[in-house]
Amino acid sequence: MHLHDLTIKKFNQGLVNKEFTALEMVQQLYKFIEKEDKKINSYLSLDKEAAYLQAEAADLAIAKGKGVGPLTGVPLAIKDNILIADQPATAASKMLENYTATYDATVIRKLRNEGAVFLGKTNMDEFAMGSSTENSAFGNTKNPHDPKLVPGGSSGGSAAAVAAHLAVASLGSDTGGSIRQPADFCQVVALKPTYGAVSRYGLIAMASSLDQIGPITKNVEDAATLFQAISGHDEKDATSSEVIYGDELSNHKIEKLKKMVIGLPKEYFDKGVDKEIIKKVKKVVKDLESLGIKFKEISLPHTKYAISCYYIIMPAEVSANLARFDGIRYSPLEGVKAKNLADLYLKNRSKGFGKEVKRRIMLGTFVLSSGYYDAYYAKAQKVRSLIKQDFDQAFKDVDVILTPVSPTKPFKFKEKTKDPLSMYMTDVLTVPANLAGLPALSMPPGFQLIGQHWREADILNIGHYYEHVQNSG
């Protein structure tokens, strides 16, 4: 089987039909990674030895007649802010350059129990802050479709690895668009789950009220499989929910789909969005319409405040979450000479964090400071409620909402690094789903389906149906 054709489903079929063993595929993948990843730098670290052991264990279980589960032996790439016991977890920061995780994140524990194989850890913007992976302390990741272009971010490594067939699928994290936008730039699929659907235990926190781990895959069916495996309640994450997802995620009944109404929010088809992108998304609408699905124009009037609201709430939470990194715990910084403890903290944090991380810590500290709290943070929380209410209102009339993912096409390196605001604007269409805690699926050719809370099935089923019709037509 050619690596380019490999999806989770095909990998599973290949194992069942004994076309290959898990170990053979993992070996083949590492050979390919060693040759190809020099060109795009999607991985920060590889753990061959552990992966071979996992693959052998999967093959052994099959030989013993234990049956082949949907994720048995499946080789995955994992964003470097998700902990895998005994592997590095740098979050692409100098601050954690020598840190080795001491335990598995809950998503990893679940996937391990399913027999999945972890190939390595992928590159990202430092602590998941950015939209191009240019904020990594360990070099840029290139877009596999054109090395002059960024892969998007912050899960740029995870998206590029899947697009370049250096993993069958991957995990990333999405706080304001970080799996959907890179998936869009690299032309693969990503699902940001409902807030609380997936445990955040063992994810290096960025903004805890927004963060969700989600799959990046080659097709919608694989996203459903991976999402189902990682979702579920976890006593180690008090915000994780009891909702259990079942077969409805991949069981699309066409008659039911045809009864759905999809909303098109006019604010997302604004002049600020690249014309070609709008054209492509409108074509998707036409194609779905011709299959019998109904559309309706809607309004989400507070969309224009989403970016400002996000860039207050997110840094506030970032400044609190990153307070624990002092350059002493986790991964001691070496060679820093200090007069006293306060001076050591200052010097370590100055040395260990990159520019964008520092900018956000300062912004966050400012918006939380007494005297400014009400004017910024408290106000942003109120606006967040209004943004949520917009969606609640819209979902009285429509089942699902369809929008573009990104206002721009993949851009060139350094194009936006001098102007942080222009970089922040690339998140304009993805942050509202995080602020409202809604699930959202991003897929080629550049559209996003936003669903109601806990209704991943709706967006996955429509996405799957669209993909199926495209591939067969």
Q: Which residues bind ligand GLN (CB under 6 A)?
A: 128-131, 154, 173-178, 206, 314, 427
Q: Are 74 and 197 in contact (CB under 8 A)?
A: no
Considering the candidates 79, 121, 192, 416, report the single residue annotated as catalytic.
79
CB atoms within 10 A of CB 446: 22
Look at residues 220, 217, 213 and name the one whose alpha carbon lies nearest to residue 194: 213
Q: Are 327 and 351 in contact (CB under 8 A)?
A: yes
406: left (phi over 0), alpha (psi -120 to 50) or beta: beta
Supply 90's token pair: 């740098």
Nearer of residues 115 and 315 to ligand GLN, judged by Cβ: 315
Angle at 208 between CA 395 and CA 188, to 5 degrees: 65
Nearer of residues 175 and 448 to ligand GLN, judged by Cβ: 175
Report, in this order, helix, strand and coil percent for the chain, each rounded to 5: 45, 15, 40
In degrees and rounded to multiples of 5, residue 250 shows phi and psi of -120, 15
Tell me if residue 154 is catalytic.
yes
Considering the candidates 93, 158, 173, 178, report the single residue annotated as catalytic.
178
Nearer of residues 119 and 363 to ligand GLN, judged by Cβ: 363
Residue closest to ligand GLN (Cβ): 178
Smallest distance, Å, CB 171 to ligand GLN? 13
Tell me if residue 178 is catalytic.
yes
Q: Which residues contact 108 (CB under 8 A, 6 or more apart)?
A: 78, 82, 83, 84, 85, 118, 202
Smallest distance, Å, CB 109 to ligand GLN? 22
Smallest distance, Å, CB 316 to ligand GLN? 13
| Angle (deg, nearest 10), helices 220-230 and 8-16 | 80
Report the Cα 9 to chain-centroid distance in Å: 21
Nearer of residues 11 and 138 to ligand GLN, judged by Cβ: 138
Strand partners, 265: 298
Smallest distance, Å, CB 291 to ligand GLN? 32
Nearer of residues 104 and 427 to ligand GLN, judged by Cβ: 427
Look at residues 116, 147, 34 and name the one whose alpha carbon lies nearest to residue 412: 147
Nearer of residues 59 and 211 to ligand GLN, judged by Cβ: 211
Widest distance between CA atoms in the chain: 71
Report the Cα 459 to chain-centroid distance in Å: 16
Considering the candidates 42, 131, 154, 155, report the single residue annotated as catalytic.
154
Nearer of residues 69 and 202 to ligand GLN, judged by Cβ: 202
In degrees and rounded to multiples of 5, residue 414 shows phi and psi of 70, -5
Smallest distance, Å, CB 132 to ligand GLN? 9
H helix or E strand, kind and range, residue 262: strand 261-265
CA–CA separation, 424 and 285 (whole Å): 27
Smallest distance, Å, CB 211 to ligand GLN? 7
Smallest distance, Å, CB 319 to ligand GLN? 13
Active site residues: 79, 154, 178
